[in-house]
Amino acid sequence: MNREEVLKLSTLVRIEISDSEAENLAKEFDSILGYVGEVKKAHAKAGSDKEKPALRNVMREDTNPHESGIYTEAILKEAPAREGDYIKVKKILG
């Protein structure tokens, strides 16, 4: 991996990093990926790709909503900026 690839990834995840950090991360990622890439060897020994993994999503029924507004204040209290009963953000469309 190189610095540019790391900078591209950091853009995708919306994290500002410096060029020198990207440079260091590229080296560290090569070493980490070299180690974790060993799983490919074990994968070759594993069974068919068609098997379902043991973990699966469990959905709850979309029922019994709480009374509207009872948590509004508790949640808005944590927001960095608010206007009335809304969370305030900067203008998105120019």
Partner 1 sequence: MIDLAALTIKSAREALKKGEFTSVDLTKACIEAIKEKDGDIHAFLEVFDDALGQAEEADKKIKAGVDLPLLGIPFALKDNITVAGHRASASSKILEGFVSPTSSTAVSKLFEAGAVILGRTNCDEFAMGASTENSAFGPTMNPRDLSRVPGGSSGGSAAAVAGDMVLVSLGSDTGGSIRQPAAFCGVVGFKPTYGRVSRSGLIAMASSLDQIGPFTKTVEDAETVYDVLRGKDPMDSTTIDDSTHAAGKEFNKTIGVPRAFFAGEGVSQAVKDNLDEAIQKFISLGYTVKDIELPNIAYALSVYYILVPAEVSSNTGRFDGVKFGLHADGKDGIEDYFKTRGAGFGKEVRRRIILGTYVLSSGYYDAYYGSALKVKDLITAELREAFKEVDLILTPTTPTPAFKFGEKSSPLDMYLADIFTVPANITGAPSLSVPNGSVSIEGKDLPLGILMTADLGREDNLFRAGKDFSGE
Give the residue with the Cβ less far from partner 1, 16 or 85.
16
Q: Are 10 and 22 in contact (CB under 8 A)?
A: yes
- Shortest Cβ distance from residue 35 to partner 1 (Å)? 6
Q: Are 26 and 6 in contact (CB under 8 A)?
A: yes
Strands, E assignment, the chain: 82-83, 86-87
Is position 36 an interface residue for partner 1 (rule: CB under 8 A)?
Answer: yes
Is position 3 an interface residue for partner 1 (rule: CB under 8 A)?
Answer: no
Q: Are 30 and 14 in contact (CB under 8 A)?
A: no
Residues that bind partner 1 (CB under 8 A): 1, 5-6, 9-10, 12-17, 21, 25, 28-29, 31-33, 35-43, 45-47, 49, 51, 53-55, 57-60, 71, 74-75, 77-81, 87, 89-92
